[in-house]
Structure 1
């Protein structure tokens, strides 16, 4: 496999989303799901995704639809493994290759996938629910052949769920006189010295620092952000460790007082542990979306199979999918962007502080591709911070 990642992409190692979860949901196991497949006729829909990406109940629900089909799932444990599948398939003959109809990829990895010609552009005009999405979603996946945002580019993916960075903390480990954590700047408070866990991901850490200072997380020259060097130096003094694998466990066992986490990872813990609290900084946060992409190497398919593949995308953009994803997967559908907390499915309404209010959403950002010169600046800044 040829390594064509940029330095920052290699550094990230696919840690944009939760890394490992069991492929179990509400008692419905893979075995039960496969048993259900045998009851549905029609062509098989092949999906490759993180093991937690779609709750098993939703896979089963699609199979029961008139336009549904058998579903064959290739669950992977990390985004790196999924990206490796795209690279592996790209180097083989499509005529004999067993690929997936759709592969789930994080938006951070879309640009290199396009650049390496691992995915193909999509025709979304036949999707019933595409025009119902907020403008942020087509803007995110409309890219040039170089993977950069482009209003004249092609649509390369269909986003179906998203999450946002939050500050998750143990209120019992703060001094009784301390105010609740609220902003990114609160990560510099004395009571968090060496008690903070940040993601082991350069763009996330440097991005939240820039958001704290009112700058964009996609600034081409971070050195031009006033006060960034001092903020990062102070932040480094707060960090116990940079970790994207065991940070939640560290919080639960008391090795950390606060962690920066993804909202869909934080939600189950907030429902289970009353000592935990959460903050979404009002100055804006960082976002991540999971997308369905079409592997470039996929073999030609029949009209019926192609129709089933499009039906799956429409299913993932439907309002019922959004509700069921919240219930069984505690995830947020792309249909739920920019709406008030009271309009969210009930499982996503509590705790109130976790929801991304529309005004904060307007200040939040996805991590976008950088120029080669900007990547070098970010990489140098990250190495300097860590050393």
Structure 2
């Protein structure tokens, strides 16, 4: 079951379509307001969370279809706070030029791609270690991802800025029928450079992700701070193989048969591969780029019921929740990596797309912040190659 836009007043046995008003939050039941990525949490898990609590709560959970929309909410809330501070008047007083925004949430889904900027711009606030104590039980990759200094750079002595609740991989989706006619199936990044696929590939319109894929194919780190001639050469050749670039519509040409392979995120691809037999997928054997969806606390978020936010985060890491998230939502929790695979349901143990082998994961990396000079180097190379036509 997918989760469409709605608000859940759990425990009260009712559904409401409007968000809780700020003035009501302290006068009614304890409340938890969440802005989340659509389809990232099955609706059944909200009901399970309510059953675990010792008190009735008002839970307002609103999904949005794209991660960029959630980041934009953080920006809008920050701008509203700044306007209020400059005026010296409370937010409910109408001011010329003020843009209406959604009521600020206690928690919000943020893609790891935006974490550095969100921290550096003061859009989010850190968690106390006691609020996310379960983080210490996660794989070190995830701890490193969210422990950062005030500039958003990874720092083992920094604050904890986010709580990862699901992760995914960069993978290859493809049409098995067409590849069957070629007599082979893709297994690794290097297959994308085979001459049979010229003009048959869709790629993400993203310098970091696509150049990162090239770096991985060359056996280098996806966070390399130097792009040598081999990277430029491989990216140029890959561009000649590519028919279509898009960050949000890269699967459409694949579904139409205009391309035979598409590189994209498992969080997009798994649902299609699960429901459409024309599409298969593979996590490249040499390793890949990891991605994560994170719970973050918006700067200035109300703290009256902060313990509920902490309980929700902890709930997302509980063993039963982890299994349900995988079975119902086709999403892998970070906690799944610390679970004995022999204890998992057979459908999960056999799902190499949702839970790749330990060897593949060991060779995989998150995209971490680069220096401004390195970012500019990536952009220059990307622009140069894309202009080749």
The TM-score normalised by the length of structure 1 is 0.85
Alpha-carbon separation, structure 2, partners of 1:262 and 1:177: 25
Mapped to 2, the partners of 1:325 and 1:52 lie a distance apart of 10
Q: What is aligned with 1:183? A: 188
- Work out which of the residue numbers 38, 53, 64 in structure 1 matches 2:40: 53
Partner residue, 1:114: 119
* 1:332 and 2:332 aligned: yes
SS at match of 2:127: coil
| CA deviations over 1:33-62 (Å, ceiling 9, x no partner) | 636453388311000111222111112221
Equivalent in 273, 278, 289 of residue 286 of structure 1: 289
Q: Distance in 1 between matches of 2:308 and 2:175?
A: 46
Matched, 1:211 2:216: yes
1:379 aligned to 2:384?
no
Q: Contact 1:162–1:290 at 8 Å: present in 2 too? A: yes
Counterpart pick for 1:263 among 262, 266, 272 = 266
Q: Runs of at least 4 residues of structure 1 off by over 4 A?
A: 28-31, 93-97, 338-347
Distance 1:265 1:80, change over 3 A: closer
| Greater relative CO, 1 or 2 (CA 8 Å, sep 6+) | 1
Query: What value does the CA root-mean-square deviation take over the aligned residues?
Result: 2.3
What is the CA-CA distance between 1:271 and the residue it aligns to? 2.8
* Aligned-partner Cα distance in 1 for 2:52–2:385: 52
Counterpart selection for 2:71 from 50, 67, 83: 83
Q: Is the CA contact 2:170–2:289 (under 8 Å) kept in the aligned structure 1? A: yes
Partner of 1:38: 12
User: 1:274: Cα distance to partner?
Assistant: 3.4
Contact 2:9/2:57 (CA < 8 Å) preserved in 1?
Answer: no
Larger Rg belongs to? 2
Give SS of 2:308's match.
helix
| Paired residues of 1:326 and 1:347 also in contact (CA < 8 A) | no
Confirm or deny: 8 A CA contact 1:58 1:321 kept in the other structure.
Answer: yes
Map 1:1-387 onto structure 2 (within 5 A): 25=2, 34=8, 36=10, 38-39=12-13, 42-67=29-54, 69-91=57-79, 92=81, 93=84, 96=91, 98-127=103-132, 129-174=134-179, 176-222=181-227, 224=228, 227-299=230-302, 301-302=303-304, 305-337=305-337, 344-352=344-352, 355-387=355-387
Structure 1 residues 352 and 362 mapped into 2: Cα distance closer, same or farther (>3 Å)? closer
The SS at the match of 1:176 is helix
User: Does the 8 Å CA contact 1:129/1:318 hold for their aligned counterparts?
Assistant: no
8 A Cα contact 1:280 1:354, kept in partner: no
Question: Within 2, Cα distance between the matches of 1:321 and 1:252?
Answer: 32
Query: 1:312 and 1:201, CA in 2 relative to 1: closer, same or farther beyond 3 A?
Result: same
Q: Give the SS at the match of 2:190.
A: helix
Q: Which runs of 5+ in 2 are unaligned?
A: 15-27, 93-102
Instruction: Give 1:66 deviation, angstroms.
Output: 1.9
Mapped partners of 1:339, 1:311: distance in 2: 21
Displacement of 1:349 in angstroms is 3.9
- The 3-state SS of whatever aligns with 1:337 is helix
Distance 1:375 1:126 in 2: 34
CA distance in 2, matches of 1:372, 1:246: 29
Structure 2 distance, partners of 1:250, 1:151, is 43
CA distance in 1, matches of 2:133, 2:297: 18
